[in-house]
Structure formats: C-alpha cells, structure tokens
Amino acid sequence: MTIETIEVEGLATPVSRIGLGTWAIGGWMWGGTDEKDSIAVIRRALDSGVNLIDTAPAYGFGASEEIVGKALADGYRHKAVIATKVALEWQDGKVFRNSSPARIRHEVEDTLRRLRTDYIDLYQVHWPDPLVPIEETAAVLNDLRKEGKVRALGVSNFSPAQMDAFRRVAPLSTTQPPYNLFERDIDRDVLPYVKQHGLVALAYGALCRGLLAGRIGVATSFEGDDLRQHDPKFRAPRREQYVAAVKALDVFARDNFDKSVLALAVRWVLDRGRTIALWGARRPSQLDGLEAAFGWRLDDKAFAQIDAIVAQFVKDPVGPEFMAPPQRLLAA
Ligand code: NAP
C-alpha cells in the first residue's frame, strides 16, 4: 500500500495524509479506554505507514499523551510525527481555555514528560483564548521552537483573522478544524486560507465521531460519559436523518467505486485540498480499512452526487459546536 504524504513547513519528514486521532484513547468523553488496545492501534498505525499521531493533554487529562508515550517507547519514536496541543487547562473534570505564556511554559514540560520525548514535532494551540492576545501566545510558542522543544507550530479551531494574528509573530504550519462531509463550514474561509498560505489542514472528526464508519444505527447506544449521548446528530430527530444519509452514501460508494462509506468519507476529506484526515481509532481492527482510502480520487461529479445525497436525507443539519470548551471565568 502506498500511503499519500504531504510536506508540512518546519518538519523534515513528509507526513501521512491520514493521522491517527487519540482523543478516544484518553477515555474521557468516550466511555473509557483500554491501554493494551490503544498501544496496539498506535503501533499498527506506525507499522502501516501512518506516521502522524495526534493527541492532546486534555484527552483524558494526560492519559492519551501517556499512552502515546508508552506506545512510542521501544524504538517507535523515530517513526512518529507527534502532533500534540496546548492551552486547555482542567479542573474537576471540566476544561477551560488558557493560552497564557505561563500556562504554555508549564504545559510543555508536562507534555514532554508524558510523551517520553525531548521534542514535539507539531505543537498546536487547541482553542483560541479570548482572554489572551494571540500575539502573546504565538511569541512564547516561537520561543519554544527556537529552543528546539518544538519543531513546527499549528493552531486549532482558529478563524482566518486569528491565524493572521498568529502569523504576524510566528511561522504557522498547520490548522486543525472540524471537517467531514457533514460538517464543512471551513469550505467558506479556512480551507481557501490554507491554500493561499501554503498551510496544511488536519481535519478532525473525519468520520463524524464514528457516524461515517457506517456501523452506527438508529438504536446504537453509547455508554458512560461518551459524548455522543449529547451530540445533537446522535439524538432524535436528527439521528434517523444522518443514519439514512450514511446508508445511501454507502450504496453510492459501493456502486461507483467498490468502496465502503468509511473509505468514501476519508477520501472526501483528502480530495478537498491541502488536508490530512484525522481518524480516531482505538483498537487495531478499526484501521483495517486504511488502504481502501488510497489509490483513487473523487471528481467534481462525485462531489455533486454526494452533496445531493446529503441534502436529500439531512433536512435539519447541525454542526460540531457543542464540543467547544468555555473560556476561563475571571474573578470579579
Ligand atoms: P472520528 O475520527 O470522526 O471518529 C472516531 C470514532 O469512529 C471512533 O471512536 C470509533 O467509534 C469510530 N471508528 C473509527 N474507525 C472505525 C471503524 N473502522 N469501524 C467502526 N467505527 C470506527 O472522531 P474524533 O476522534 O472526534 O476525531 C478524530 C481525532 O481528531 C481525535 O481523536 C483528535 O485527535 C482530533 N480532534 C481534535 C479536536 C480539536 O478541537 N482540535 C476535536 C475533536 C477531535 P467507537 O469508539 O464507537 O468504536
């Protein structure tokens, strides 16, 4: 299998256009985790040529980064491009935005320790913090880059204006927005910006939290603290619409390309621009369909047919906004 790659400014190694997302591996908001399966899926990804591993301190309050660190021990570190994040803090199980230089200085050391490494390949601001000027955040991140703790810088959930502010102070290599064939707000502004400035977009939720993997039905239930219990797409009346759209997309993919809806969803992200699809898998078998995403392309006619199917079934579309963490409350 030939895995497609893309150059990311500041990184010496070309990056695979599928990245392994490890939010669910942290357990929190995904109904728990299994460390053995998690380590196995990370190594499976790396052995298959997927070198990008996306994590964050907030995923399981350190648990995801720790598991990634364990998986990369024993000779795997050199195979991996580690993308992690910064600037969310947590208290009593709740996360808040904090992009202050002091927070970032503190967090980077915790992250390096958890990941068992002395450098981070791609360091991304997880969410913009309205309480801290973006230029201040970018300046401290640029210092970390010059100190060698970080190779390249990225942002996540930023608008073009916010990326402009960042780029006035520090080199910006990537952005990480939500993007899949049901959630495509970034077509309007972020994706054209990415193209114009030679960035790369790491599309998160490429499988729409599992919907586009094709196994979720109207009766599928989610356990524990799984965020899909609160996701409006997974609740009545929208669940039926989205599940019906996925079924129709699966028929379309099989009839036209001899592929599943999962491969179609990943390919859709890859054929939209300078993108990488983040695929959240938490056990090795979930990566079985990896190679089906490569070696073919969607053209304009296929994009239009997909749009028509989505419009036919999803009458009441909704985005991923429910996931946005709040800003800090300042003492009065
Ligand atoms: P996702 O990739 O759209 O979906 C993940 C879920 O899809 C998995 O938990 C799994 O569900 C299901 N799945 C995966 N492969 C499957 C297969 N072969 N068959 C059946 N089901 C399969 O969602 P995501 O994890 O939210 O997003 C991906 C990554 O993007 C995250 O891990 C994280 O790294 C990143 N992310 C970033 C942000 C941000 O603010 N920057 C926000 C969200 C996500 P089950 O668990 O039910 O098996």
pLDDT of residue 331: 55
Would the CB of 66 count as within 6 Å of ligand 1? Answer: no
d(CA 131, CA 164): 18
Among the atoms of ligand 1, which is closest to the Cα of residue 176? Answer: 41
Show the DSSP H helices in the chain as ranges: 35-47, 63-72, 101-115, 134-146, 160-167, 190-196, 238-257, 261-270, 300-313
pLDDT of residue 106: 97
> How remote is the CA of residue 168 from the centroid of ligand 1, in Å?
33
Our separate counts of H helices and E strands in the chain read 9, 12
Q: Could you tell which of 207, 223, 228, 269 is best to mutate to test the pocket of ligand 1, judged by most ligand atoms within 8 Å of the CB?
A: 207
Among the atoms of ligand 1, which is closest to the Cα of residue 206? Answer: 3
Would the CB of 286 count as within 6 Å of ligand 1? Answer: yes
pLDDT tens by residue, 210-261: 999 999 999 999 999 999 999 999 999 999 999 999 999 999 999 999 999 9
250 phi and psi, to 5 degrees? Answer: -65, -45
**Residue with tokens 């019906």, as numbered in its chain:** 244
State the average pLDDT over residues 171-179.
Answer: 98
Q: Are strands 94-97 and 88-91 parallel, antiparallel or unpaired?
A: antiparallel
Q: Who contacts 5 (Cβ-Cβ below 8 Å, separation ≥6)?
A: 14, 15, 16, 17
Least Cα distance to 177 among 168, 188, 165 occurs for 188
Q: Could you tell which of 54, 286, 287, 321 is best to mutate to test the pocket of ligand 1, judged by most ligand atoms within 8 Å of the CB?
A: 286
> Which fold does the domain 11-213+262-294 belong to in CATH?
TIM Barrel (3.20.20)
Question: How do the domains of the chain map onto residue ranges?
Answer: 11-213+262-294
Would the CB of 111 count as within 6 Å of ligand 1? Answer: no
Would the CB of 156 count as within 6 Å of ligand 1? Answer: yes
- What dihedral do alpha carbons 245, 247, 248, 249 form, nearest 10°? 80
Are 211 and 233 a contacting pair, CB within 8 Å? Answer: yes
pLDDT of residue 2: 87
- Side chain identity at 56, as an amino acid letter? A
pLDDT tens by residue, 60-107: 999 999 999 999 998 999 999 999 999 999 988 889 999 999 999 999
277 phi and psi, to 5 degrees? Answer: -95, 120
What pTM value is reported for the model? Answer: 0.97
Are 41 and 283 a contacting pair, CB within 8 Å? Answer: yes
d(CA 246, CA 218): 11
Reduced to 3 states (helix: H, G, I; strand: E, B; else coil), residue 159 is coil
Known catalytic residue at 179: no
pLDDT tens by residue, 130-165: 999 999 999 999 999 999 999 999 999 999 999 999
d(CA 280, CA 71): 16
Under the banding of pLDDT at 50, 70 and 90, the label for residue 189 is very high
State the average pLDDT over residues 9-20.
Answer: 98
